[in-house]
Chain A
Amino acid sequence: MPKDKSLSPTSQSENSIPFWHDPAKRAIVFQLVTFLVVALVSYYLFTNTVTNLKRQSIATGFHFLDKEAAFEIGESLISYSAANSYARALLAGMLNTLKVAFIGILLTILLGTIIGIARLSSNWLVSRLAAAYIEFFQDIPILLQLIFWYAVFYDSLPSPRQALEPFPGLFLCNRGLAFAIPVPHPAHFYMGIAFLIGCIGVLLLRSWAKKRQDLTGKIFPVFSSGVAILIGFPLAVWLGFGAPTAMSIPELSGFNFSGGMNVSPEFTALLLGLVLYTAAFVAEIVRAGIQAVSKGQTEAALSIGLKPWQTLNLVILPQSLRIIVPPLTSQMLNLTKNSTLAVAIGYPDFVSVANTTINQTGQAVEGIAMIMVVYLFFSLLTSAFMNWYNKKIALVER
Chain B
Amino acid sequence: MQNNSKSFDIQADKIKPPITSVGIIGWLKQNLFNGVFNSILTIVTLFFLWKVIPPLLQWIFIDSLWLTTSAECRSADGACWSIITQNYRFILFGFFPYESQWRPLSAIILLVFLLLISRNRKLWNKMLLYAWIAGLLCMAVLMKGGVLGLVSVESAQWGGLPLTFLLAVFGLTAAYPLGVLLALGRRSKMPVIRVLTIIYIETIRGVPLVSLLFMSAVVFPLFLPEGITVNKLLRAQMAIILFTAAYIAEVVRGGLQGIGSGQYEAAASLGLNYFQTMRLIILPQALKIVIPPSVSILISAFKDTSLVVIIGLYDILKTTQSVLANPLWMGFSTEAFLFLSLIYFICCYAMSNYSRQLEKELATK
Binding site for B on A (CB under 8 A): 27, 30-32, 34-35, 38, 45, 48-49, 51-53, 55, 121-126, 129, 135-136, 138-144, 147-148, 151-152, 155-156, 337-338, 340-341, 343-344, 351, 355, 358, 364-365, 368, 371-372, 375-376, 378-380
Contacts and interface: CB of A to CB of B under 8 A. Distances in A.
25 contacts: A27-B189, A30-B193, A35-B192, A49-B219, A49-B222, A53-B222, A122-B38, A123-B41, A126-B41, A136-B345, A139-B299, A139-B348, A141-B303, A141-B307, A143-B306, A143-B317, A144-B340, A151-B333, A151-B337, A368-B219, A375-B211, A376-B203, A379-B202, A379-B206, A379-B207
Given A35-B192, A371-B214, 19 more contacts: A30-B190, A49-B219, A139-B345, A140-B348, A141-B304, A141-B344, A148-B341, A155-B332, A338-B208, A340-B210, A340-B211, A341-B210, A355-B214, A358-B218, A365-B219, A375-B207, A375-B208, A376-B203, A379-B202
A285 B221 CA distance: 41
Interface in B160-216: 189-193, 196, 202-203, 205-211, 214-215
A38 to B, nearest CB: 6
B31 A124 contact: yes
B334 A139 contact: no
A135 B345 CA distance: 9
Interface stretch (B10-18, B60-68, B113-121, B223-231): B223-231
B140 interface: no
B334 A140 contact: no
B332 to A, nearest CB: 8
Contacts of B221: 52
B331 interface: yes
A125 B309 contact: no
Contacts of A31: 190-193
B316 to A, nearest CB: 9
Contacts of B202: 379-380
B277 interface: no
A356 to B, nearest CB: 12
Contacts of B206: 375-376, 378-380
Contacts of A142: 303
B157 interface: no
A27 B194 CA distance: 12
Task: Name the residue among B34, B208, B334 with the largest chain A CB count within 10 angstroms.
Answer: B208
Contacts of A355: 214
B109 interface: no
A372 B205 CA distance: 11
A140 B345 contact: yes
A126 B42 CA distance: 7
A87 to B, nearest CB: 19
Contacts of A32: 192
B349 A341 contact: no
Interface residues of B, number: 55
Nearest to B347: A139
Nearest to B194: A31
Contact of B222 (A343, A365, A378): A365
B352 interface: yes
Contacts of B31: 122-125
Contacts of B348: 138-140
Contacts of B190: 27, 30-31
A355 B310 CA distance: 11
Contacts of B219: 49, 364-365, 368
B207 A371 contact: yes
A151 B306 contact: no
Nearest to A38: B196
Nearest to A35: B192
B337 A55 contact: no
Which of B203, B222, B352 has most A Cβ within 10 Å? B222
A275 B203 CA distance: 25
Nearest to B303: A141
A126 B334 CA distance: 27
A340 B207 CA distance: 10
B344 A144 contact: yes
Contact of A151 (B203, B334, B349, B352): B334
Nearest to A127: B31
A34 B202 CA distance: 19
A38 B199 CA distance: 13
Nearest to B305: A141
A155 B333 contact: yes
A147 B321 contact: yes
Contacts of B203: 372, 376
B303 A125 contact: no
A35 B195 CA distance: 11
B208 A123 contact: no
A144 B42 contact: no
B341 A343 contact: no
Interface in B122-155: none
A140 B349 contact: no
A344 B309 contact: yes
B46 interface: yes
B263 interface: no
Contact of B208 (A135, A155, A351): A351
Most chain B Cβ neighbours within 10 Å, of A48, A139, A368 = A139
B203 to A, nearest CB: 6
B223 A144 contact: no
Contacts of B209: 337
B352 to A, nearest CB: 7
A21 B98 CA distance: 61
B58 interface: no
Q: Which 10 A-B pairs have the closest CB atoms?
A: A379-B206, A139-B348, A124-B31, A151-B333, A31-B192, A364-B218, A141-B303, A337-B208, A141-B306, A376-B206
